[in-house]
Structure 1
Amino acid sequence: MKAEIIAVGTELLLGQIVNTNAQFLSEQLNAQGISVYFHSVVGDNPDRLAAQLAIAHSRSDLVLLTGGLGSTKDDLTKEVVARHVGRSLKLEPQALKRIQRFFEARQMPMTENNKRQALIIDGARVFPNETGLAPGMAVKHEGVHYLLFPGPPGELKPMYFKYARPYLVELSPDQHVVHSKVMRFCGIGESALESRLLDLIDNQTNPTIAPLAKEGEVTLRLTSFAKSKADAEQKMASLIREIQARVGKYQYGWDEETLEEVLVRQLHHNNLTVAAAESCTGGLVCHSITRVNGASQVFPGGIVCYANDVKMGELGVPPEVLGQDGAISERTARILAEEVRKKFKTDLGVSVTGVAGPEQQERKPVGLVFIGVAGEHKTRVYKVNVGGSRHTVQTRAAKLALFYLIRTVEELVGNQSG
């Protein structure tokens, strides 16, 4: 089946809200093996919506509409779709009772226009709205299926899972599943990653490979078409092994995992702790770690040592080091990582010092960053050039610090097991 999604609402065109419904529906449809070919957004205008429906009818088997099912005059989706399919609207008794109970429970008068939310297209299959008022519905016209959903995501999502998804399964009982898996990488750019996998990308069939660059990291989305999720994963297995053989040292996680989640989980699992000393990142490493539940058990704290006085006074960086090598140097990063580890009595210490911009410092270019990782017996300092705007430099440097910590924990565990 070929599907498309039409979002209705002038507020979307004005940028007042983000069209998250389209993303959600595309993800769900693809998981059911239904390909989404088009997205469109139409304002609260009946003529433009009617024109878009005519286009959709000519090219798609399945058309999903979101929004425009409410009680106000600009909620016109049902009316326009009803005209498009040549049917009338009628009150749905159960929906009307639900709306009446809603107002009675709140001791509020129900105005006449609220009855509009209980209207459905004659002959449509109703999707009850268990978290709101206006029901959704499905109607077939000349071989094309139209599914109408309310706009609020809190109403659309449960309606989709409970009623729309089973409806779509009925339409295509033998439909293949589309299963995706995301591999997450850090410490390597998109171009470098792609160059090492170019032959795999050029020759992809099933599974497919789609690289995507994010701020400070890269992902590979592997997608397989198969009869079942188990079959799809089996198809992916050999491809995953080949990718890991080439670039596995840069992979830190899967799917929706974040660097900080992986790090905190590893620290927990291995009974390790870490503290941070941050200069150019201004606390981003600390902030990232503390966003994860349970971080307090592995992260007692950190120091933002933005000024040289703080580097000297709080973390014992000798004045001669700052005078000779500078605050942005391998020696300073080493001392900061070792001293913050001692100060907080942790297993690991991490430091970040560099030039975030917009101008050079100490005759050193914007984007030059030193990241130190100190353990009980060994300290390693990474010199990187991350480039970009001030925000980009800070974000990339913080993510690299988390990534190098993950690699250090893996190394420590590997040495212990060896």
Structure 2
Amino acid sequence: MSNATIEVTAHPTINAIAASDWDACACPEAVDGGRPDDPFTTHRFLRALEDSGSVGPGTGWQPRYITAHQDGEMIAAAPLYAKGHSQGEYIFDHNWAHAYENAGGRYYPKLQIAVPFTPATGRRFLTKPGFEVAGMSALVQGAVQIATDNDVSSLHATFCTEAEALAGQEMGLLGRIGQQFHWVNDAYTDFDAFLASLSSRKRKTLRKERKQANDFGGEIVMLTGDQIQPEHWDAFWVFYQDTGNRKWGTPYLTRKFFDLAHQTLRDDMLMVLALRDGRPVAGALNFIGRDTLYGRYWGCIEHHPCLHFEVCYYRAIDFAIQHGLGKVEAGAQGEHKLARGYLPVATHSLHWFRDGGFQDAVARYLKAEREAVDHEIEVLTSYGPFRKTDMEDHQ
């Protein structure tokens, strides 16, 4: 299978690519109507981002989706964007941008293979089964060629899988690791079985937190699919704006995104709402993969003790156990997740710089950073809440 027969094309809109062709590469496991491994690289999710104006003109995320065809058949694709800033990525390169520009270069625009605003691990080089090697090679070569032809400073692929990171490094890209906190389902039958795996002190703490949270004066509901109604999005938009204004200055997603999500994504979502007198006062939004629940957004208009932990973390664990999911990814950062059973794991990204000298300097930096991150993961894991024998099983 020769790369010479593969044609790579860039597209300014996802609407130029048939959903069936894209999803045959992004989620071939769902071709029978099942749930995709990763909801974030589906055509419907990326289209909702674009059609809602959350990405596109004026956002700093300009779509340049790339596809690879062999003998007329689409064999691979990647969600590529031209970036005018480094916001909404969760793998931070601000120091690289400053160093590049201090040396007289122009860092932006750069190219980014990513799911915007989504720090969740998944395949970024989307290949049809049987075309994994040739497809990824074509996408990498094509993206690097686009960067070179347009005098773009760099190419980045963020929150890729470990397998992709290793393959990318074989192709000359630089590998970087970070860390997140994930909860792993050790075949627990219910939440009490999970609690039994914790040390006595941590177990008592979690029970106390759950009681405090559920005594907030209302009820907590968990909604998926058609249970999610338009009025729930009205409430959640208020929560999302509050969190977005505090964290990012301006919320990344537009109001229209949630309307489109209701139309095309609600079966991929779990919304957890805290209601008082029937009125939503806090909520969390999760996305459901085939084996993973992805925690994404949280917000509130009333503050109650431990309600954040219950709505975001404990209810996510409940759902994962009830539905036989293997893990919960709780999003970016947050060492407070450690005490609640979410242990540190490595995340992966790939990077390429057009300037060879800068590429060498970043390579040296990443070697030292990797050692520091590896050590941090080891130390944080040792502080996990599990009983000693269970902790050894988790390492």
Q: What's the TM-score bracket when you normalise by the shorter of the two chains?
A: under 0.3
Q: Structure 2 length normalisation: TM-score?
A: 0.20
Report the structure number with the largest CA radius of gyration. 1
Higher relative contact order (CA 8 A, sep 6+): 2
If the length of structure 1 is used for normalisation, what is the TM-score?
0.20
